Amino acid sequence: MTKPKIAPSILAADFNNLGRDIQMINESEADFIHCDVMDGVFVPNISFGIPIVEHVKKIAKKPLDVHLMIVNPENYIEAFAEAGASWLTVHYETCLHLHRTVNQIRENGMKASVCLNPHTPVRVLEDIITELDMVLLMSVNPGFGGQEFIHHTYKKVKQLKKLILESKSECLIEVDGGVNYDTGKKLVEAGADVLVAGSFVFGSENPKEIIRNLRNI
């Protein structure tokens, strides 16, 4: 079983000491820094936007994995590229012209990722899976950290892995929401490549150890 990549979500970081927490990720075995951008329209919460991503990029030594939980994401692709995103995730549910949006992301020099909400079936990506660098499966309803893991996600990971293999796509599978040692192990066994962890990392006494243990799960 291949070791998963780990993407700590700074939504759960201490924003009074954000620089300290970013430095912790820099020094850890994490692979990405996950940035959740929420607009209060698509999801019932507002998090942060382009200025924070720019600030994080100035001190980050890991690639920024930016997840846009916003309506009309196509209007902000260039801005997030300039802010320093390496990976940009848009929601299937917010993109009227998904293929065009994915091409826009790539044209701006970023890796393209599409996210599916818990209720959205994997099959909607059949016609675009070979164009993607990553698919993010939400294992909680987007908008808030610290939610309970939705167990149907294991089945979705297996379905997505099957689709990727059958289409000969090279895209990664990322999962976000309720990740801990137990769910993380089962997700990797099902085929997940990247685990996003927020509360589990930043709510611990030793975040670096949590990150290391997740990678070696």
**Below-50 pLDDT ranges, the chain:** none
Asked if 36 is an active-site residue, the reply is yes
What local confidence, expressed as pLDDT, does residue 142 receive?
83
| Tens digit of each residue's pLDDT (9 = 90 or more) over 75-98 | 999 999 999 999 999 999 999 999
Give the active site residue among 36, 39, 133, 193.
Answer: 36
- For residue 115 the two structure tokens come to 């996210």
What local confidence, expressed as pLDDT, does residue 2 receive?
83
Q: What is the pTM of this model?
A: 0.96
What local confidence, expressed as pLDDT, does residue 144 receive?
67
Give the active site residue among 21, 65, 133, 176.
Answer: 176
| Burial class of residue 55, CB neighbours in 10 A (0-12, 13-18, 19+) | middle
What local confidence, expressed as pLDDT, does residue 140 receive?
93
How would you classify the pairing of strands 111-116 and 33-38?
unpaired
Q: How far apart are CA 106 and CA 134, in angstroms?
A: 12
What local confidence, expressed as pLDDT, does residue 50 receive?
97
Under DSSP, is residue 129 helix (H, G, I), strand (E, B) or coil? helix
